[in-house]
């Protein structure tokens, strides 16, 4: 653009926000990117923290319109090329928040939209009330800001020696597809019990505990203040920064691969289980560890099935079983939906880090423990449009069913 044109642009338009994809080629480029992501108003979508930036690792960086010119100039001076991943994330954000349930032409169901925290609480109440014989809402604790943490217990019969599985969603606030999946899963269970053979088999032999939003304060915050918030909302002792990464706050080899700096995205908090949300989940699982055989925690994005360990490169004792389960899940998804999921132990497949709920549950004795990273692989990232909810959830559902059936066969 010529100079007068640029001025014209500045005066009459605003540069729009963008999400850039950048793959640094040299150490110098890595350092520059780390610098940009800490010193300019940007948000790292991927990797989660700038210490994980390295050569040949694809970085997804959210750049607000007002830092766009500066950031791009810095990239250019260092010979760093970028692709625009999302040219207009604001439009996508609006699409995610639009609740067009009143529009009869929209054609999408309740489960194909994202919901506010209040709507999810209403849904929890309604679901328990409408299914008094099969669904119970159990209060397992409350959040830092004193919001209730409800677990839905699905129980389709009362045979003795029933086993159980646990699914939690929404540990990380900005991963909106995650709570959407918990709602999807409960709806599927209630609608297809005695219709679909796999879900029937699972529900006949297991109770299912579903925690739809483990981090309600953070989730609320992403709807009202900052869409890219990840942590909970607890205020650090110094009062300077807010938020602990709940998936670093569990008691496994605490602090390695996480950060004690409360200002960081992967801050593990002052001590293990310092956060009421992590403590509530840990207490509940400790009380139910004799029945719970399968633990699944739902995240996004990157399409991955992760199993222990993440805090060490050592192999889990039943590594081969775990591998076989996720491999089968990935193969079935490929066959039915033509979509690719990668899989493996956390440290080697994703990154080493401690304090995660999956490793903690595993060490508690829940021998089948998984982290799912749902769609997508960065085409929309956290801004997965509502029209993709059904696809993302059906894939994850197939994986849950595949793994749960295998757990039943093993135990």
248 near Zn ion, judged by CB under 5 A: no
Q: Angle, nearest 10°, between helix axes 177-192 and 197-205?
A: 90
> Is the CB of 18 or the CB of 310 nearer to ligand ARG?
310
H-type alpha helices, 257-299: 276-287
Distance of alpha carbon 220 from alpha carbon 187, whole angstroms: 22
Token representation of residue 404: 């749960």
**Interaction pattern, residues 170-189, with Zn ion; x per rule: CB under 5 A:** --x-----------------
Q: Give one DSSP letter per residue of 64-116, joined into a string.
A: -HHHHHHHHHHHHHTT---EEEES-HHHHHHHHH--GGG-TTS---GGGS---
Please report how close the Cβ of residue 395 comes to ligand ARG at its closest, in angstroms.
17
179 near ligand ARG, judged by CB under 6 A: no
> Is the CB of 217 or the CB of 358 nearer to ligand ARG?
358
Q: Give one DSSP letter per residue of 373-404, joined into a string.
A: EES-SSSSGGG--GGGHHHHHHHHHHHHHHHH
Q: Which is the catalytic residue, given 265, 273, 275, 373?
A: 373
397 near ligand ARG, judged by CB under 6 A: no
Distance of alpha carbon 139 from alpha carbon 142, whole angstroms: 8
267 near ligand ARG, judged by CB under 6 A: no
| 273: annotated active-site residue | no
Distance of alpha carbon 160 from alpha carbon 178, whole angstroms: 32
359 near ligand ARG, judged by CB under 6 A: yes
312 near ligand ARG, judged by CB under 6 A: no
- DSSP SS3 for 59: strand
Please report how close the Cβ of residue 69 comes to ligand ARG at its closest, in angstroms.
31
Q: Which helix (H) or strand (E) holds 118?
A: helix 117-130
Among 346, 362, 376, 407, indicate the residue that binds ligand ARG (CB under 6 A).
346
Candidates 407, 381, 403, 311; CA nearest to 58 is 381
Token representation of residue 103: 């529009």
Please report how close the Cβ of residue 195 comes to Zn ion at its closest, in angstroms.
32
247 near ligand ARG, judged by CB under 6 A: yes
Distance of alpha carbon 153 from alpha carbon 135, whole angstroms: 6
Please report how close the Cβ of residue 186 comes to ligand ARG at its closest, in angstroms.
23
Among 115, 227, 233, 299, indicate the residue that binds Zn ion (CB under 5 A).
299
Please report how close the Cβ of residue 301 comes to Zn ion at its closest, in angstroms.
9
Name which of Zn ion, ligand ARG, none residue 359 binds, using a CB cut-off of 5 to 8 Å depending on partner kind: ligand ARG
Q: Which helix (H) or strand (E) holds 202?
A: helix 197-205
Q: Where on the chain is the footprint of ligand ARG (CB under 6 A)?
A: 48, 247, 299, 306, 310, 346, 350, 353, 356, 358-359, 371
Q: Where on the chain is the footprint of Zn ion (CB under 5 A)?
A: 172, 299
Active-site residues: which are they? 373
């Amino acid at each position: 653009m010529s100079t007068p044109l640029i001025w014209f642009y500045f005066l009459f338009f605003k540069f729009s926000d963008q999400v850039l994809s950048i793959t640094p080629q040299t150490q110098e480029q890595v350092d520059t990117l780390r610098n940009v992501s800490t010193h300019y108003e940007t948000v790292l979508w991927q990797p989660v923290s700038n210490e994980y930036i390295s050569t040949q690792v694809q970085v997804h960086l959210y750049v607000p319109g007002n830092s766009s010119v500066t950031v791009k100039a810095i990239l250019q001076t260092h010979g760093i090329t970028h692709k625009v991943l999302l040219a207009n994330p604001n439009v996508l954000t609006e699409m995610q928040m639009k609740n067009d349930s009143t529009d009869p032409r929209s054609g999408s169901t309740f489960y194909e939209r994202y919901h506010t925290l209040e709507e999810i609480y209403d849904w929890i109440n309604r679901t328990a009330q409408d299914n008094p014989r099969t669904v119970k809402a159990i209060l397992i604790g409350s959040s830092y800001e004193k919001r209730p943490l409800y677990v839905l217990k699905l129980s389709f019969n009362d045979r003795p020696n029933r086993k159980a599985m646990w699914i939690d969603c929404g540990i990380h606030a900005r991963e909106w597809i995650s709570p959407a999946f918990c709602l999807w899963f409960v709806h599927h269970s209630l609608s297809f019990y005695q219709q679909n053979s796999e879900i029937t088999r699972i529900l006949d032999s297991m109770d299912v505990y579903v925690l739809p939003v483990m981090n309600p304060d953070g989730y609320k915050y992403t709807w009202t203040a900052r869409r890219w918030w990840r942590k909970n909302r607890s205020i650090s002792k110094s009062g300077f920064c807010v938020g602990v990464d709940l998936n670093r706050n569990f008691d496994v080899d605490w602090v390695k691969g996480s950060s004690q700096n409360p200002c960081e995205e992967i801050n593990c908090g002052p001590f293990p289980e310092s956060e009421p949300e992590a403590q509530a989940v840990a207490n509940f699982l400790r009380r139910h560890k004799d029945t719970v055989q399968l633990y699944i925690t739902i995240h996004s994005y990157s399409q991955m099935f992760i199993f222990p360990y993440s805090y060490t490169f050592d192999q889990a004792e039943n590594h081969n079983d775990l591998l076989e389960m996720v491999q089968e899940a990935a193969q079935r998804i490929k066959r039915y939906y033509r979509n690719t999921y990668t899989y493996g132990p956390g440290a080697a497949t994703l990154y080493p880090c401690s304090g995660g709920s999956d490793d903690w549950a595993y060490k508690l004795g829940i021998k089948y423990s998984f982290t799912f990273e749902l769609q997508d692989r960065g085409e929309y990232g956290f801004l997965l449009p509502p029209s993709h909810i059904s696809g993302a959830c059906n894939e994850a559902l197939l994986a849950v069913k595949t793994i749960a059936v295998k757990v039943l066969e093993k135990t």
